[in-house]
């Protein structure tokens, strides 16, 4: 019976019907109960009105600890308040886990009645004792002895067997002890028999041994008969009941062994079999319904839970998480509290519904919960359905509807043939048509007439074949205004694959087109002159050259345009550029493109094979149309241009090469006197390449300090004493040797590398001056300074005085030499620096005097201390009286202005004497000394070398 699942179906303290039926079959059992592991009596056959705990009962502890059948001791049963001996059997679930203890109580009076049925000799006595040797049944029956120790009335015998003893009355008796239940370590029951044999001994005094033996045998036989009778009356029916219960527990048809049973037991057995059959039939039907329901639940996508009124999960089929023990493991706190409150107050309607969100595999899911109260119990059924996808779909639909309604793009829904079914507000706003005006009409009402029938045929062919079309199209608003739209059309298909709707989305890109056109024009055309710019020129040339076309370009640079900008301002300069552009546009018929590529540079592109003579004519025509005066407000301007001409593919097959070739030719035209033109040839490219190589070497020379400063003494002509010296830069190239300054200085000035070279010259001169002063040599050193050093904003000329102060040198010990070109285009910065250097104490010398304008105004502006007569005038004074007269005039003019004169290039005694006679103050040339490196110069000065 303990193995039957029916035992676990005790609810609200009511024992299962299995126990009830068992009590009917065995009426000599006083009570049957089911006990949980903590000792609480879960249920009994006899109803009790109070809570009972038997965890202190030894038979309960033995059954719980050993998980085997256990026999109790003498006790007062707490459920019926009667003297009993209880039996216990552990109950296990399907997985072999101990869940309960099954207890059976037997009244001691009933056991004594069983002993009374034994056939024993007169004056015999019998008792049954428990493991503590307490009397639990006796014969003849004496209620007072129940519970007393057997030792007080019987011999103290701790083993099974037979012995003879003398009773307290002096009567000799045979004592027998035998265990009723053997091989049970969890306590036991023992049968004790006490039989008098004094009369037997008297009757067979002579045959003691034989009689005694027979008597013992008789006693054993009697014991055997008593045991057999006990087994027949009690144990066999119980065993038969156990077998029937085992079969019933396994769900098998029961067969109660009725052989040898009394009519009463036979009636009980028959009733039990009928009950078991009915019960098994009902259970099979219930199991079928349960399996059907389980299959249904398993097939549904929903999750099922059954909970009690405290929220404990009694059953579930949760798969999206670990099996929950409490509803809080699934529901949010608020939903859980609300559910339990309604459940405990029995206020839950037939079906309640609510939603909640929870985490599943790290993602937030939304569930719909439906709850239903079980009327017969304080329990509820909860069915959960994951509605995350549905919620997302609902949100997507809401979003789509919101987008459709609020989108800035026009949207149209049509049938498969273009009949309008619906439009959004943006459609109405863009087209000017209301929804009512277009519903049921074909989209052709927006046609602009700007596209051919073939255009629309191709569009519909693509829509029908591919289901979609996208492109730019011109449509017409309700007011007749045309607009450009970017249109996207997609098809919607039914289950058969047939298109039944089209969705068109369009954006009015008219403004964007205008903006793009404006941006493109600003990107490709000069904003000032509205001519094509450099980017458009390169694009045009690339296209022409990639197509293999021959062409020529004329690159013209306005002569002295910078002077106009500097003198009249940028306003007049811009106006002049616009007028030049207008005049060049007169040649538009002869050019494929006219462009301004920056500043004052313009390029004319002449496509096709152009003869040399035609290019000459066009160049002359350009110079001619630029020649007339240009009137800007109240100013009159004259402008000319230098033109460089290059042809493709001869002079270059890319736009870069072609422009570079034209630029080189234009540069040659500038060198030839401006207001002219020059054709590119291969020698120009070679010269340019050489120039680039030289520039590369020049940068390396600055980096690796390949420069040296030579010094040429300057003597006082009257005493022939060296009182000054000019520093002359030399470049010692590692491969080419000494390179003349005339070769690299112009390039250095053009690239502003002269600034670094000038700093090297100044630093070297300071170092030599320190050495001269340490040798008590008072020598004024001349330093050549480029006009670029005066005009460049990056020049450090004004910092030289500070450097001299740090070296404890004076500015008066140095002369700054520059040419007349310094003042010809002098900026404010140049004049300011000249004035500042003069105030700092530097002496100023005007080099190469007489080779340029020889303007007295320049002498005044420069605040010059010395002028240097160029060597070309000195060379001929001995043979040419004009040269001598010119030198004398320059010397006299300088003296009248308070200036000293230095004559360069003196190579003979005659030249020295003639210049001395003319009043020249100082002389410089090979006649006195050649330019010398630093060491030789110091040796020359320290050893007082003089010209003899």
Q: In the prediction, which pLDDT does 199 show?
A: 62
Same structural domain for residues 456 and 583? no
The DSSP line for 882-920 is HHHHHHHHHHHHHHHTT-EEEEE---SHHHHHHHHHHT-
Nearest to 41 by CA among 86, 73, 83: 86
Q: pLDDT below 50 — which residues of the chain?
A: 10-13, 854, 945-948
Same domain, 129 and 52: no
In a domain, 397, yes or no: no
Does residue 927 fall inside a structural domain?
A: yes
Runs of H (alpha helix) within 569-676: 570-584, 612-626, 655-671
Residue 819: asked if its preceding bond is cis (omega within 30°), the reply is: no
What CATH number does the domain containing 838 carry? 3.20.20.450
Residue 199 lies inside a defined structural domain of this protein:
yes
Residue 80 shares a structural domain with residue 163: no
- Determine the pLDDT at residue 11: 44
Q: According to the model, what pLDDT value does residue 707 have? A: 96
Q: What's residue 735's pLDDT?
A: 92
Per DSSP, the chain holds a count of helices (H) and strands (E) of 30, 37
Predicted pLDDT of residue 602: 97
* Domain termination residue (choose one: 220, 243, 260): 220
- Specify the pairing of strand 303-308 against strand 379-386: antiparallel
Integer Cα distance of 514 and 801 in angstroms: 61
- Say whether both 58 and 198 belong to one domain: no
* Residues 872 and 726 placed together within one structural domain of the fold: yes
pLDDT of amino acid 592: 93
Among candidate residues 578, 592, 583, the one with its CA nearest the CA of residue 530: 578
The strand ranges marked E within 65-181 are: 70-71, 75-76, 83-92, 98-107, 125-129, 135-139, 161-166, 172-179
The CATH number covering residue 84 comes to: 3.30.450.20
Domain boundary among 514, 535, 558: 514
What is the CA 267 to chain-centroid distance, rounded?
Answer: 84
* H-helix segments, 733-778: 741-751, 754-774
State whether 380 and 433 are in the same domain. Answer: no
CA dist 205 to 198, 220, 828, Å? Answer: 10, 22, 170
Q: Which of 76, 108, 140 is the last residue of a domain?
A: 108
Q: Is 234 helix (H, G, I), strand (E, B) or coil?
A: helix
Q: Quick: pLDDT tens for 766-799.
A: 999 999 999 999 999 999 999 899 888 889 998 9
Same domain for 115 and 97? no
Q: What is the pLDDT of residues 594-618, one digit of tens each?
A: 999 999 999 999 998 888 999 999 9
* Alpha-carbon torsion, ordered 297, 303, 304, 307, to 10 deg: 170
Q: With contact defined as beta carbons under 8 Å apart, do 426 and 409 qualify?
A: yes
Say if residue 716 is in the same domain as residue 790. yes
**Containing domain of residue 173, as a range?**
109-220
Pair (660, 748) in one structural domain: no
Kindly state whether residues 15 and 162 are assigned to the same domain: no
Residue 309 CB burial class (10 angstroms; 0-12, 13-18, ≥19): middle
CB count within 10 Å of CB 524 equals 16
User: Would residue 280 count as lying in a domain?
Assistant: no
Number of structural domains (the chain) is: 6
Q: Tell me, what's the pLDDT at 12?
A: 46
The CATH number of the domain where 555 resides is what?
Answer: 3.30.70.270
Contact 130, 203 (CB under 8 A): no
User: What was the pLDDT predicted at 519?
Assistant: 86
Check whether residue 777 and residue 713 sit in a common domain.
yes
Residue 820 located in a structural domain: yes
The pLDDT assigned to 936 comes to: 95
Residue 121 domain-assigned (yes or no): yes
Whole-model pTM over 0.85: no
502 and 545 in a single domain? The answer is no
Q: Residue 251 domain-assigned?
A: no
Q: Rounded to 5 degrees, what angle do the CA atoms 348, 349, 351 make?
A: 110
**Quick check: helix, strand or coil at residue 127?**
strand
Q: Are 130 and 74 in contact (CB under 8 A)?
A: yes
pLDDT value of residue 13: 47
User: What strands lie across the sheet with 593-598, from one edge to the other?
Assistant: 593-598, 601-607, 551-558, 641-648, 677-679
Residues 6 or more apart whose CB falls under 8 angstroms from that of 417 comprise 442
What confidence score (pLDDT) does residue 208 get?
A: 56
* CA dihedral sign, ordered 799, 802, 807, 811: positive
Residue 661 in any domain: the answer is yes
pLDDT at 489: 94
Closest CA to 439 of 419, 409, 418: 419
| 229: its two tokens | 């009778």
Residues whose CB falls within 8 Å of the CB of residue 350, separated by 6 or more in sequence, listed in order: 372, 373
Give SS3 for 926. coil
For 779-917, list the strands marked E by DSSP. Answer: 780-784, 814-819, 843-849, 866-869, 900-904
């Amino acid at each position: 019976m303990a193995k039957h699942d029916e035992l676990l179906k005790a609810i609200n303290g009511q024992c299962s019907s299995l126990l009830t039926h068992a009590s009917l079959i065995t009426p000599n059992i006083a009570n049957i109960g089911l006990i949980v592991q903590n000792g609480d009596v879960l249920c009994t056959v006899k109803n009790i009105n109070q809570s009972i705990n038997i965890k202190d009962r030894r038979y309960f502890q033995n059954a719980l600890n050993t998980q085997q059948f256990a026999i109790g001791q003498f006790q007062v049963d707490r459920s019926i308040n009667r003297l009993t001996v209880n039996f216990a059997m552990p109950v296990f679930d399907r997985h072999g886990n101990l869940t309960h203890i099954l207890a059976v109580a037997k009244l001691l009076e009933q056991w004594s009645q069983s002993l009374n049925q034994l056939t024993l000799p007169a004056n015999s006595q019998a008792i049954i004792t428990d493991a503590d040797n307490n009397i639990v049944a006796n014969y003849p029956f004496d209620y007072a002895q129940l519970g007393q120790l057997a030792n007080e009335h019987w011999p103290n015998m701790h083993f099974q067997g037979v012995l003879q003893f003398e009773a307290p009355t002096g009567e000799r008796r045979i004592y027998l002890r035998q265990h009723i239940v053997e091989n049970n370590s969890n306590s036991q029951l023992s049968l004790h028999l006490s039989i008098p044999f004094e009369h037997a001994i008297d009757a067979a005094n002579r045959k003691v041994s034989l009689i005694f033996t027979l008597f013992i045998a008789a006693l054993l036989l009697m014991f055997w008969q008593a045991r057999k009778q006990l087994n027949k009356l009690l144990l066999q029916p119980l065993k038969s009941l156990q077998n029937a219960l085992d079969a019933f527990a396994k769900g098998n048809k029961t067969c109660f062994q009725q052989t040898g049973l009394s009519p009463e037991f036979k009636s009980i057995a028959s009733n039990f079999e009928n009950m078991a059959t009915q019960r098994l039939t009902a259970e099979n039907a219930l199991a079928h319904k349960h399996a059907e329901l389980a299959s249904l639940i398993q097939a549904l996508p929903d999750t099922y839970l059954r909970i009690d009124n405290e929220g404990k999960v009694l059953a579930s089929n949760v798969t999206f998480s670990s099996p929950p023990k409490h509803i809080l493991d699934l529901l949010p706190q608020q939903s859980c509290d609300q559910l339990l409150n309604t459940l405990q107050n029995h206020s839950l309607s037939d079906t309640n519904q609510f939603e909640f969100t929870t985490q599943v595999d790290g993602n937030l899911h939304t569930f719909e919960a439906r709850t239903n109260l079980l009327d017969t119990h304080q329990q509820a059924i909860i069915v959960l359905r994951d509605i995350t996808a549905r919620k997302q779909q609902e949100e997507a639909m809401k979003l789509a509807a919101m987008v459709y309604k609020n989108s800035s793009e026009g949207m149209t829904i049509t049938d498969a043939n273009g009949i309008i079914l619906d439009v959004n507000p943006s459609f109405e706003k863009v087209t000017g048509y209301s929804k009512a005006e277009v519903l049921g009409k074909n989209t052709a009402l927006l046609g602009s007439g700007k596209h051919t029938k073939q255009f629309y045929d191709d569009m519909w062919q693509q829509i029908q074949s591919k289901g979609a079309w996208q492109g730019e199209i011109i449509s017409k608003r309700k007011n007749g205004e045309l607009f450009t739209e970017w249109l996207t059309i997609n098809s919607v298909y039914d289950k058969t694959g047939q298109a039944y709707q089209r969705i068109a989305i369009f954006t009015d890109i008219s403004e964007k087109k205008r903006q793009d056109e404006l941006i493109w024009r600003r990107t490709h055309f000069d904003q000032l002159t509205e001519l094509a710019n450099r980017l458009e020129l390169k694009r045009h040339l690339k296209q022409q050259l990639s197509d293999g076309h021959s062409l020529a370009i004329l690159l013209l640079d306005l002569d002295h345009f910078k002077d106009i900008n500097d003198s009249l301002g940028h306003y007049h300069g811009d106006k002049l550029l616009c007028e030049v552009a207008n005049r060049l546009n007169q040649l538009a018929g002869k050019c494929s493109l006219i462009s301004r590529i920056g500043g004052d540079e313009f390029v004319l592109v002449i496509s096709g094979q152009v003869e040399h003579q035609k290019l000459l004519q066009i160049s002359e025509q350009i110079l001619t149309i630029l020649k007339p005066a240009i009137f800007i407000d109240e100013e009159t301007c004259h402008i000319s241009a230098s033109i460089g001409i290059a042809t493709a593919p001869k002079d270059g097959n890319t736009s870069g090469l072609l422009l570079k070739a034209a630029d080189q030719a234009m540069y040659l035209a500038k060198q030839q006197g401006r207001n002219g033109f020059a054709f590119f040839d291969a020698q120009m490219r070679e010269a340019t390449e050489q120039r680039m190589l030289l520039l590369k070497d020049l940068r390396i020379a600055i980096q690796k300090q390949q420069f040296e400063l030579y010094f040429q003494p300057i003597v006082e002509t009257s005493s022939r004493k060296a009182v000054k010296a000019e520093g002359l830069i030399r470049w010692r190239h590692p491969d080419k040797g000494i390179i003349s300054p005339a070769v690299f200085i112009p390039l250095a000035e053009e690239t502003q590398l002269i600034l670094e070279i000038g700093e090297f010259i100044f630093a070297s001169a300071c170092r030599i001056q320190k050495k001269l002063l340490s040798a008590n040599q008072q020598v004024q050193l001349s330093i050549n300074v480029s006009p670029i050093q005066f005009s460049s904003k990056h020049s450090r000329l004004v910092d030289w005085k500070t450097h001299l102060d740090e070296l404890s040198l004076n500015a008066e010990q140095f002369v700054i030499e520059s040419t007349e070109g310094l003042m010809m285009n002098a900026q404010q910065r140049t004049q300011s620096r000249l004035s500042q250097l003069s105030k700092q104490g530097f002496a100023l010398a005007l080099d190469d005097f007489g080779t340029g304008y020889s303007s007295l105004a320049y002498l005044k502006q420069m605040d010059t201390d010395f002028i240097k007569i160029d060597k070309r005038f000195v060379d001929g004074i001995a043979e040419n009286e004009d040269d001598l007269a010119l030198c004398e005039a320059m010397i006299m003019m300088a003296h009248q202005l308070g200036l000293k004169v230095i004559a360069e290039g003196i190579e003979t005694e005659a030249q020295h004497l003639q210049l001395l006679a003319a009043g020249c103050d100082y002389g410089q040339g090979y006649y006195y000394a050649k330019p010398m490196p630093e060491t030789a110069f110091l040796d020359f000065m320290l050893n007082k070398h003089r010209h003899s």
